[in-house]
Amino acid sequence: MAEESITFTLPDLGEGLVEATVLEWQVAVGDVVARNAPLVEVETTKSAVVIPSPQAGRIAELHAAEDQVVPVGDPLVTFAVEAADEAPRAGIVGRVPPEEARPARRVRLKPPTA
Amino acid sequence: MSAKLTGDVTMRYVDLPPRAPADAVPVLLLHGFGTDFDMNWRATGWTRALESAGLRVIGPDLRGHGSSDKPVEEAFYLPEHFVADLVSLLDELGVERVDVVGYSMGSRLGWELALTMRERVRRVALGGFGPVNAFAGTDLSEPGSGDSPFDRVYRAVAALPGNDTAALAACARGQASRPFSSDPLLNGVPLLLVSGERDAVAEGAAGLAGRCGGVHVEVPGRDHGNAVSSRAFRQAVVDFLLA
């Protein structure tokens, strides 16, 4: 079955951040991962985050070693996915899709007792 | 410290239903100083990991943080006020008992919650936390101005968008006015402490866990800022909660 390669670059992590340090890969070459599964843990000057996989597929290549600093927009990971003519093609690059909105509520709480 | 100073504070919280109906004990997530629920727990992969384990996840933006109200007087930020907020939240949700997972300041508050409301807490997993005074060496009239471990934490979070530095400083002073004490120890509740190998804020965590009859897990190579997102930390906690 034909396969195609899709490379995912380090997404814009917001707040004007231009780079991130790879802390720990959550996947290895050869792994088959689901979309939104944990992909890689990175740290910026602001925080440490786990980036979910933007793509389902087999991991073909990791472009950065752990502790390596990666500029936003540089290649991060390449997936091998089965080529499907009729299926919509996955985007090559882009932001990490935001997680679905989850319920968040506000509650008016009683005054705490001192 | 008059009661009227502590007036009511509106708190945003998150309640993520379990993926499958389950009678598992819900998990209450308590974020660290200067962050909020989303930054501490969602962006770091925690909500996903806990939901994948089938667990109901509950967590507030603690007062002074995130989308909750941010009073700027330190009298609003005594540990007992946070504990009262948490108890109100559990009452509001009709939740009898939770497993508490905290990070940093959230860990200190989780400890206090378990001490004072022992019957509401089943298990306790705390990260980035130890028996040392977290504010040692900090000039609290101007947090962030020195080089103590807390000064460094303060500087890192003060720059985050959405944070109100007046509220954060008040929060630091309020908490510092009740320095943490490991006496009494947290006994009689299963306890897991997790800390980065290079986390100065969590110094002494292994000894504290031992004195409480609990377990300590060290995350190699990590510091206070980046232990929270480590897979080793998440996995240790999930294993502990499901055991």
Cβ–Cβ of B85/A109 closer than 8 Å?
A: yes
DSSP A77: E
Does residue A11 carry a pLDDT above 50? Answer: yes
| pLDDT one-digit tens code per residue, B188-224 | 999 999 999 999 999 999 999 999 999 999 999 999 9
Helix pair angle (B79-93, B105-116), 10° resolution: 70
* 3-class DSSP assignment, residue A71: strand
pTM of the model: 0.89
Q: What does the pLDDT average to over B222-242?
A: 97
For residue A16, name the pLDDT band (cuts at 50, 70, 90): confident
Cβ–Cβ of A109/B81 closer than 8 Å?
A: no
Cβ–Cβ of A47/B35 closer than 8 Å?
A: yes
Q: What is the pLDDT of residue A87?
A: 53
Strands (E) across A16-113 are located at 19-25, 32-33, 38-43, 48-52, 57-62, 69-71, 75-82, 104-108
| pLDDT one-digit tens code per residue, B7-51 | 578 999 999 988 766 678 999 999 999 999 999 999 999 999 999
CA distance A48 to B61: 18
In which residue are the tokens 């908490």 written? Answer: B175
Of B8, B48, B49, the CB nearest to A110: B8
CA distance A110 to A35: 42
Cβ–Cβ of B3/A109 closer than 8 Å?
A: no
| CB contact residues (below 8 A), chain B span 50-109, against chain A | 67, 78, 80-81, 84-85, 88-89, 92
Q: What is the pLDDT of residue A109?
A: 57
Q: What is the pLDDT of residue B217?
A: 98
- The residues spanned by each domain of chain A are 3-82
| pLDDT one-digit tens code per residue, B108-166 | 999 999 999 999 999 999 999 999 999 999 999 999 999 999 999 999 999 888 899 99
Of B7, B159, B229, the CB nearest to A50: B229
In which residue are the tokens 């707040």 written? Answer: A15
Q: What is the pLDDT of residue B3?
A: 31
Closest residue in chain A to residue B3, using alpha carbons only: A114
Q: How far is CA A58 from CA A73, A79, A89, B152, in A?
A: 21, 5, 16, 40
Q: What is the pLDDT of residue A104?
A: 60
Mean pLDDT for chain A overall:
83
Contact status, residue A29 vs residue A60, Cβ threshold 8 Å: yes
Cβ–Cβ of A47/B43 closer than 8 Å?
A: yes
* DSSP-based helix, strand, coil % in chain B, nearest 5: 40, 15, 45
CB-CB neighbours of B22 under 10 Å: 13
Does residue B67 carry a pLDDT above 50? Answer: yes
Closest residue in chain A to residue B41, using alpha carbons only: A49
- Based on DSSP, count helices (H) and strands (E) in chain B, helices before strands: 8, 7
Is some CB atom of chain B closer than 8 A to the CB atom of A44? no
Of B12, B85, B231, the CB nearest to A112: B85
Cβ–Cβ of B67/A106 closer than 8 Å?
A: yes
Of B6, B10, B43, the CB nearest to A112: B6
CA distance B213 to B235: 20
Rounded to a whole number, what is the distance in Å from the CA of B157 to chain A's nearest CA? 8
Rounded to a whole number, what is the distance in Å from the CA of A19 to chain B's nearest CA? 16
Q: What is the pLDDT of residue B2?
A: 29
Strands (E) across B52-91 are located at 57-60
Q: How far is CA A64 from CA A29, A44, A90, in A?
A: 12, 15, 22
Is some CB atom of chain B closer than 8 A to the CB atom of A65? no
Closest residue in chain A to residue B82, using alpha carbons only: A112
Q: What is the pLDDT of residue A60?
A: 97
Structure tokens at B231: 């897979």
For residue A111, name the pLDDT band (cuts at 50, 70, 90): very low
Closest residue in chain A to residue B84, using alpha carbons only: A112
> A19-25 and A104-108: which strand pairing?
unpaired
Is some CB atom of chain B closer than 8 A to the CB atom of A112? yes
- According to the CATH classification, is domain A3-82 in 3.40.50.300? no
Indicate if the alpha-carbon torsion angle B35, B40, B44, B48 is positive or negative.
negative
| Residue A83 region by backbone torsions, left for phi larger than 0, else alpha for psi between -120 and 50, else beta | beta
For the domain covering B10-242, report its CATH number.
3.40.50.1820
Is some CB atom of chain A closer than 8 A to the CB atom of B1? yes
Q: What is the pLDDT of residue B94?
A: 94
Q: What is the pLDDT of residue B95?
A: 95
More confident site: A114 or B47: B47
| Lateral strand order in the sheet of A38-43 | A48-52, A38-43, A19-25, A69-71
CA distance A9 to A40: 12
Q: What is the pLDDT of residue A92?
A: 46
